[in-house]
């Protein structure tokens, strides 16, 4: 099940994020803990989308809704990738969500 695998990867620090996500973090919109908390608090994958670049394991991007560290709804989009050291989760974008 992709959500459990994504949660395991994030829980073990096996993730990276895009420059866009890094910019949001640097600008103070949220922090890395919010990314982790969103994934770990998620109950399901909200939506699956085809990875148009074709790099994702299973060929999919995942929209995951969870909660940030303050309990507010939080939105992420990411995909599982292969690296030299195994699988990792790559956050493409993230932000506060209007609904859980």
Rg over alpha carbons for the chain, rounded to the nearest Å, is 12
Say what the pTM is.
0.92
State how far Cα 39 lies from the chain centre.
6
Domain ranges within the chain, ordered by starting residue: 2-96
Token representation of residue 48: 């699956």
- CATH for 2-96, options being 3.40.50.620, 3.30.2310.40, 3.90.1010.10, 3.40.30.10: 3.30.2310.40
pLDDT digits (tens, 9 = 90+) for 30-67: 999 999 999 999 999 999 999 999 999 999 999 999 99
Q: What's the pLDDT at 99?
A: 57
Burial of residue 39 (number of CB atoms within 10 Å: 0-12, 13-18, 19+)? buried
The pLDDT confidence band at residue 100, using thresholds 50, 70 and 90, is very low
């Amino acid at each position: 099940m992709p959500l459990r695998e994504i949660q395991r990867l994030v829980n073990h620090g096996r993730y990276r994020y895009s420059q866009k996500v890094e910019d949001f973090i640097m600008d103070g919109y949220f922090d890395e803990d919010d990314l982790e908390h969103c994934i770990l608090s998620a109950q399901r994958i909200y939506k699956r989308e085809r990875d148009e670049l074709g790099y994702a394991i299973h060929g999919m991007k995942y929209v995951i809704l969870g909660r940030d560290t303050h309990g507010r709804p939080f939105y992420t989009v990411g995909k599982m990738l292969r690296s030299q050291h195994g699988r990792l989760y790559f956050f493409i974008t993230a932000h506060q969500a209007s609904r859980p």
